[in-house]
Structure 1
Amino acid sequence: MMKELLYAEFVKIVKQSKTYYALVAIAVIELLIFITAYYQGSTILDLLLNTLRQNFYFEGSLLNGNLILYIVLNSLWFNVPLILMIVTSGLLTDEHKDGTLQTVMLQAVNKWKFILAKYITAAIFTLMVIGFMMLSSFALAYAVFGSGDLVVYIGTLNFFEAKEAFNRICWAFASGSIAMIFYSTASITIAIFIKEAAKTWIASALFLIITNLLLKADFLPAGLNSFFFPKLIDTWQQLFNYKIDWQQIGLNNFMLLFYCFGFAALGIFAFQKKDIG
């Protein structure tokens, strides 16, 4: 039964137009980043590094594929998770709207398997979207701007050689994908409670905004930051600290996965108790 449910969910997500709008939207975001960097990137870098250029000699162009990929990664803050939340919540809200959910529930289908299939589909779809984003941005960034050393500003200016920058960017995409799965999972749980598509999108956007605001807030003891989910969503950026704290990054990602399971468990419990009508 679970295989059939997963197959049905994948057919739905492949056939729905929102899936392709999401991919196009991500491609447009990437394209805008590339166009802006191509025409204005050098000017912006010169302004940022003008003082440093008076004291240091930089060999080669710092406006390269690795810097563009780092900028693309910054779309994981808001743009990409919002797109993913809209698409994945549609796995449930569309069925409420079309009335197909009631029809499915009249058949011999376990409610918890039905909703679990949606969570699994959302997670796999999220990984596919991040994979698409990663491959397309890598191909375009290196084709247009080439490789080179990476300079990023996280409290201080950090410089990484091209090979090390490539490795850090790959790990950042992997870490970022866990944060995106968290958002997709949360969006389905929100959809279970709200049902209507438009209201679910607004609630999902609000959840995303509040999470980002709480990331900047500093009202918890330092030891609790690794257990409060808003403090975990920027874990991918920690890979661009000069010294990587792999233990902290591993703990943060483990806790994010824990929250994913927690939100999914809450959603499954609520869906089982909910009267589908």
Structure 2
Amino acid sequence: MKSLLLAESMKIAKQSKTYYALGAIFLIELLILITAYYQGSTILDLLLDNLKQSFYFEGDLLNGNLIMYIVLNSLWFNVPLILMIVTSGVLTDEYKDGTLQTVMLQAVKKWKFMLAKYVIAVCFTLFVIIFMMISTCVLAYSLFGKGDLVVYLNTLNFFETYDAFHRICLAFASGAIAMVFYCTVSITLAVVIKEAAKTWIASALFLVITNLLLKVDFGLKVVNDYFFPKLIDTWQQLFYYETDWPHILSNNMVLIAYSIALMILGIVVFHKKDIG
């Protein structure tokens, strides 16, 4: 198993898509920073003009905490799409190159082969989120400094500097769980579809449908509480003034269970498939 994990690590480290993905995410961060630098103050002034006459805000509201929150919103579509394209490639590339048949001719158990791919894909996903958090933190606080965080979620919610940073860190952790779920979906789709382009389209479609279903009220509490599209916004729930911590923990645990179930499904389907 160690040799399989090492081999998969080397594959993902050598493929160009890995570095394009990191570059794309860093570019998204830069665009957000540039936009905030030139237009952020104007937008905040329009939003909070009346409130500033009645309340005192510590520091500049256009600060590193707000920038990090804005970057977190790329977890809705941009980042998961990039991750799904890269992680699905750990399998689709081997179908395309014909190396999968060669590997299967060796003394390699199918379930171990697929498990190694899932594990490395999860590790890569976590690495990307850590990279995203650290790079954003360094750039945002260096350019904009610290201050209170203002977030509009139905109402305006305000958090002091320390509390804001604490919530942002937890949001990145919760967001990482959602990204792991998406990456397991993409690899499982790759097991079924095999072709890279079709897998990317299916992954993008899954991402779009999931985001659309997030806003649908299904009328049943069990569905609204445990259906996976209802769990992907868990990280954002950390920015409500009255935070339901048990509900957030429960959502993340259920999403982890979904990810494990998808891994098992992908391994079982791959094990039963005739590789040819």
Counterpart of 1:235 in structure 2 is 234
Distance 1:109 1:140 in 2: 45
Give ranges in structure 1 of 5+ residues lacking alignment: none
Maintained 8 Å contact 2:57/2:148: no
Greater shift after overlay, 114-123 or 52-61? 52-61
- Tell whether 2:93 aligns with 1:94: yes
After TM superposition, list the pairs within 5 Å mapping 1:76-225 onto structure 2: 76-225=75-224
Distance 2:58 2:100 in 1: 61
Counterpart of 1:68 in structure 2 is 67
Counterpart of 1:263 in structure 2 is 262
> Secondary structure of 1:157's match?
strand
Distance 2:199 2:73 in 1: 25
Q: What amino acid sits opposite 1:234 in the alignment?
A: D
Q: Deviation string for 1:28-64 (max 9, x for gaps)?
A: 0000000000000000111111222233333421000
Q: Deviation string for 1:154-201 (max 9, x for gaps)?
A: 111010000000100000000000000000000000000000000000
| Identical pairs, percent | 73
Distance 1:150 1:173 in 2: 16
Q: What amino acid sits opposite 1:152 in the alignment?
A: V
Calculate the TM-score normalised by the size of structure 1.
Answer: 0.98
| RMSD of aligned Cα (Å) | 0.9
> Secondary structure of 1:153's match?
strand
Calculate the TM-score normalised by the size of structure 2.
Answer: 0.98
Maintained 8 Å contact 1:226/1:251: no
Q: What amino acid sits opposite 1:145 in the alignment?
A: F
The alpha-carbon deviation at position 25 of structure 1 amounts to 0.2
- Tell whether 2:72 aligns with 1:51: no
Distance 2:145 2:112 in 1: 47
The alpha-carbon deviation at position 138 of structure 1 amounts to 0.3
The alpha-carbon deviation at position 108 of structure 1 amounts to 0.8
Structure 1 runs of 4+ aligned residues shifted over 6 Å read none
Maintained 8 Å contact 2:8/2:120: yes
Distance 1:206 1:65 in 2: 33
- Tell whether 2:12 aligns with 1:13: yes
Maintained 8 Å contact 2:217/2:224: no
Give ranges in structure 2 of 5+ residues lacking alignment: none
Distance 1:56 1:177 in 2: 35
Q: Deviation string for 1:222-255 (max 9, x for gaps)?
A: 3432210000000000110112211001100000
Q: What amino acid sits opposite 1:93 in the alignment?
A: T
Distance 1:105 1:240 in 2: 48
Distance 1:118 1:223 in 2: 32
Q: What amino acid sits opposite 1:74 in the alignment?
A: N
Distance 2:107 2:268 in 1: 19
